[in-house]
Chain A
């Protein structure tokens, strides 16, 4: 009896606004997932037959199904994945660490706010310098003022392809470009940290460096997750710097984005399944990073 009444009241509480809300959410979800789904099913189709004879969102029929596009994409991109990882991972870690250190100096270290402010202004300005504006100075810098190519000639003598200087240049460039945003992200986090806790550690006998090492750094994990995910995605996906510093996809040092840009393009037409498979492979590492640091990421964003 009572159950029936409850059921009735539960039904009446399903109001229209709720229905509309879920409807809208479903629509948004569809809008986001459809291109991904389309890309995924396309990557398993033969080309050009499979693409032209099936609907874009429909899975391939057995006769048009193939895994060869994935293996081809993997073959083409494998070298680029390794090259990208060679600079993206160190650049991410170094820029996050330097940003954290700089933010520590700008917040918890005791010096005059009068001197801190202009420095912070410079850092913030650094975030807003557009990539395009620095392309020419950047290539001139590496060619004329810091000819790493010449400095590292002993490495090339050891048999390492001298194209790999591009990887090193990308690494340093991305660190320099990433430090400002990392600093600002860490700064807001450190500003909310208890000042008394740091003071207490100072009184406990810890030097500025030890306070960073034993108090600040361990407490920064959530923010490191945010910064690592953000920076890694930025650096991994960057094409502009790669184009300027490495320039050709045929180079042994070509990053994955550079190879992906030309993948499946030929005079006969565009091989869409190959491009789709390549795009998924190139995106895998960024997804992996999200999955790895997801929990800390949520905590860091919430703070």
Chain B
């Protein structure tokens, strides 16, 4: 087990005469035993980054350090890294036992009976001891997934790499495996780099998440930091479901002016935003409040367009009159609300985010005061 460091990692693909920069100057340090989730939309370079760490893709520039070795030029088989693929990539002509033994046989001098013991222990850990003599084609998707994980775990490598390992599972199994994988990783304490496009997986599984877009690293932070203090508009929009509301506004002396509404800024935010002209106002759906009556400049009359009841909460799409702009709010599931109803939406000033309109950089993030973060009551 070791820490993994990517230092200014860059990958340029040649496409005929064109150069395509897939990964652009990515630097991130993953501590020993840490679970880092790399997340981003498809084509953002996350898989390429992972493949460079695995040695399946050459590094254009930058360094990959594992423990105290630089592994840029190391062959994949010498890196002591195990990878779980989206397609599981099991060897179809081998039984589960042979699939799991393969890595130990190839990468170590371990005697046969020890290999057998290790494989059986790991199979027990994964709950697949009954499947050891079956072939992959005889297994369900979930079982294949377990075998693929077991095959990685049994080798006890320095680093786990996982490339969207759960995306071929159905929703129920996926959330089950999410929890299980997290527990396993914690028990084993192996440094893990996990790639996904699913922000829920990123939020729930990672110790920290690294968000990539267009090959560039946008932010590396804990899930809650990314959620509450996004470095830029991309992160703010990517993390959280439903996504943050964005409104393109113009900054004018103490207020923001947009097509749909004007928003007066309190003094401290005004200070942070001053100097910019085009800005984007962001507000998380759950921060939007529906209030009875207009009371001050942060309340706006809106019409309910669509209500999506989820049981525990409702996702409500609100429209500003005479504009096409929509404000999404999540409300309590017990709140009775119907379409075409006229209501007043409050955008609280302590919950707004302001981003630069051109660079997307965060000019102001909401303040999470300690009192707001409640702890679990204990006796």
Interface of chain A, main secondary structure? helix
**B311 CB, nearest partner CB in chain A, Å:** 39
Whole-angstrom distance from the CB of B90 to the nearest CB of chain A? Answer: 7
CA distance A200 to B78 in the complex (A): 13
Given contacts A202-B56, A204-B155, A206-B106, contact A197 B81 (CB under 8 A): no
A-facing mask of B84-120, CB < 8 A → 1, else 0? 0111011111000000001100111000000000000
Q: Is the CB of A196 within 8 A of B106?
A: no
| Size category, B interface | 20 to 34
Asked if B39 is at the interface (CB within 8 A of a chain A CB), the reply is: no
List B residues 96-155 near A (Cβ within 8 Å).
102-103, 106-108, 151, 155
Are B77 and A219 in contact, CB atoms less than 8 angstroms apart? no
Q: Residue B106 contacts which of A197, A205, A219 (CB distance < 8 angstroms)? A: A205
Residues of A within 8 A of B103 (CB): 204-205
B272 to chain A, nearest CB (A): 47
In the complex with contacts A203-B77, A206-B106, A194-B87 CB distance below 8 A? yes
Residues facing B in A193-215 (CB within 8 A) are 194, 196-197, 199-207, 210, 214-215
- Residue contact A196 to B102, C-beta cutoff 8 Å: no
Question: CB-CB < 8 A to A194: which residues of B?
Answer: 87, 89
B74 to chain A: closest CB distance in Å? 12
Q: Is B54 an interface residue (CB 8 A)?
A: yes
B93 touches A205 (CB 8 A): no
A261 CB to closest chain B CB, in angstroms?
A: 44
Q: Nearest residue in A to B103 (C-beta to C-beta)?
A: A204
Q: Is B264 an interface residue (CB 8 A)?
A: no
Q: Is the CB of B89 within 8 A of A214?
A: no
Give residues of chain A (202-242) contacting chain B, Cβ–Cβ below 8 Å. 202-207, 210, 214-215, 218-219
**In the bound complex, how far is the Cα of B12 from the Cα of A81, in angstroms?**
59
Residue contact A199 to B91, C-beta cutoff 8 Å: no
Minimum CB–CB distance from A277 to chain B (whole Å) comes to 44
Asked if residues B93 and A199 are in contact (CB atoms below 8 Å), the reply is: no
CB contacts under 8 Å to B, within A171-197, are 194, 196-197
In the complex, chain A residues 72-118 whose Cβ is within 8 Å of any chain B Cβ: none
Q: Do the beta carbons of A196 and B93 come within 8 Å of each other?
A: no
Report whether B85 and A210 are in contact in the complex, using a CB–CB cutoff of 8 Å.
Answer: no
CB distance from A282 to the nearest CB of B (A): 37
Chain B, residues 207-237, CB within 8 Å of chain A (1/0): the string is: 0000000000000000000000000000000
Bound complex: CA A207 to CA B89 (Å): 17
Cα A159 to Cα B93 with chains together (Å) = 48
A206 touches B77 (CB 8 A): yes
Q: Contact check: which of A196, A199, A204, A219 meets B92 at CB < 8 Å?
A: A219
B59 at the interface (CB under 8 A from A): no
- Residues in B whose Cβ lies below 8 Å from that of A203: 54-56, 76-77, 79, 81-83
Q: Is the CB of B89 within 8 A of A219?
A: no
Given contacts A194-B89, A215-B91, contact A199 B56 (CB under 8 A): yes
Contact of A196 with B77 in the complex, beta carbons under 8 Å: no
Closest to A204 in B: B103
Contact of B87 among A196, A201, A210 (CB under 8 A): A196
Bound-state CA distance A142–B109 (Å) is: 48
A196 to B86, CA, bound (A): 9
Chain A residues whose CB sits within 8 angstroms of the CB of B79 once the complex forms: 203
Residue of B nearest to A221 (CB): B93
In the assembled complex, the Cα of A200 lies from the Cα of B144 at a distance in Å of: 14
Q: In the assembled complex, how far is the CB of residue A296 from the closest CB belonging to chain B, in whole angstroms?
A: 13
B-side contacts of A218, CB under 8 Å = 93
- Indicate if the CB atoms of A200 and B83 lie closer than 8 Å: yes
Q: What A residues does B54 contact at CB under 8 A? A: 199, 203
**A218–B135 alpha-carbon span in the complex (Å):** 14
Return chain A residues, CB-CB under 8 Å to B87: 194, 196
Task: Please tell me which one of the listed residues B55, B75, B89, B107 contacts residue A200 in the complex, with CB atoms under 8 A apart.
Answer: B89
Closest to A218 in B: B93
Complex Cα distance, B87 from A203, in Å, reads 15
14 A-B pairs with CB atoms under 8 Å apart are A201-B91, A201-B102, A201-B106, A202-B55, A203-B55, A203-B76, A203-B81, A204-B107, A205-B103, A205-B106, A205-B107, A205-B108, A206-B102, A210-B106
Residue positions of A touching B, CB distance < 8 A: 194, 196-197, 199-207, 210, 214-215, 218-219
10 smallest A-B Cβ distances: which pairs?
A: A205-B107, A204-B103, A205-B106, A196-B89, A200-B89, A206-B106, A197-B89, A202-B76, A196-B85, A205-B77
